[in-house]
Structure 1
Amino acid sequence: MFEIQTQIDIQASPARIWAILTDFAHFCEWNPFIVAAAGIARPGQILSLTLAVKPGRMMRFRPKVLHARASDKLVWRGRLLMPGLFDGEHCFTLSPLEDGSVRLSHSEQFRGLLVPLLRRGLERDTRAGFERMNQALRERAERHNRQAHR
């Protein structure tokens, strides 16, 4: 198993962040990592996602939603070809902080026969994609807050 863990603090409500994270149809407007998405954030549902793994390289897959609790946690599992070859369990957790902000923990656990061969690229490219996505999510959520307070 190999895991990537990232986090970012966002000055927005859990409900606002959740609304952005689960509005898959609008990912193309703001998300530099998951550049196209469709589906419903409900356990058992299948999503359609297109990742910009690195410049010029896209990856499409259809993960299954495992867990979706509003304003709290979203988890899906994607697989390459068949179980046990390359499986990834992607997780977003929202944790309210005392100052009114929210800590987004964004992680993925990778399992399977191909993980050792792909580990270097995962560490470099996938981690960078997570961090770009986290930053873009913060900018979108906080921009909404600034506009709401004008």
Structure 2
Amino acid sequence: MSTSEISSSIHIAATPAEVWEVLADLPAYGQWNPFVREASGTLSVGERLAVTIASAGGRTMSFRPRVLVAEPGRELRWLGRVLVPGLLDGEHSFVLEPADLPDGSRGTRLTQAERFSGLLVRLAGRAIEVGDDFDAMNAALRDRVEAGATLGR
């Protein structure tokens, strides 16, 4: 079985709890998120979400991943599958860690990653090259969180 991994990290000038507040607000994704255009569901282990992504190339895809981990202020992880298990599976994660920012202040390091596995990984090629999309989402999340943190939400 083939695998492929992609990850993108960014520093955010806010606490992990403040970052989680925006990350967990699925209905608001359409207001700020350039990659995950729509998301709904309950962030509880075992629950299914409804997610629609739009790549920088304009392709959209909807799927219903199952939540694997939902630890407020720490980690969100889900597993999406194409048709049947083992064909093309994607385990998507967001990990929030307290971190020192470049200016010496405290903040959060967000790492967004996806591990693709399955028989179709090699054939999927560019369809699963979403590093630029992760970078764009991370930057938009940072901007939204930092704007809220500045306003003293």
Q: Do both share a fold (TM > 0.5)?
A: yes
Runs of 4+ in 1 over 4 A off after TM superposition: none
Could you tell me which of 102, 106, 131 is aligned with 2:108?
Answer: 102
Shift of 1:57: 1.7
- Opposite residue 121 of structure 2, the aligned amino acid is V
Q: Distance in 2 between matches of 1:134 and 1:33?
A: 10
- Structure 1 segment 1-150 matched on structure 2, within 5 A: 1-98=3-100, 99-123=105-129, 126-148=130-152
3-state SS of paired residue (1:89): strand
**Which ranges of structure 2 fall in alignment gaps of 5 or more residues?**
none
Could you list the per-position Cα deviations for residues 16-40 of structure 1 after superposition, in whole angstroms to 9, with x for gaps in the alignment?
Answer: 1101111101100000000001011
Residues 64-109 of structure 1 deviation map (CA, whole Å, 9 limit, x = unaligned): 0001111001100000011011000001000101431100011000
Conserved 8 A contact 1:2-1:119: no
TM-score normalised according to structure 2 size: 0.92
- Size of the alignment, in residue pairs? 147
Distance 1:110 1:94 in 2: 21
Secondary structure of the corresponding residue to residue 137 of structure 1: helix
Aligned identity (percent) is 43
Q: What amino acid does structure 2 have at the position aligned with 1:25? A: P
TM-score using structure 1 length: 0.93
Deviates most, 23-32 or 92-101? 92-101
Amino acid at match of 2:113: S
- What is the alpha-carbon root mean square deviation over aligned residues? 1.3
1:122 Cα deviation after fit = 2.2
Please list the CA deviations of residues 113-138 of structure 1 after superposition, one character each: whole Å capped at 9, or x if unmatched: 11101233423xx1111111000000
More helix by share: 1
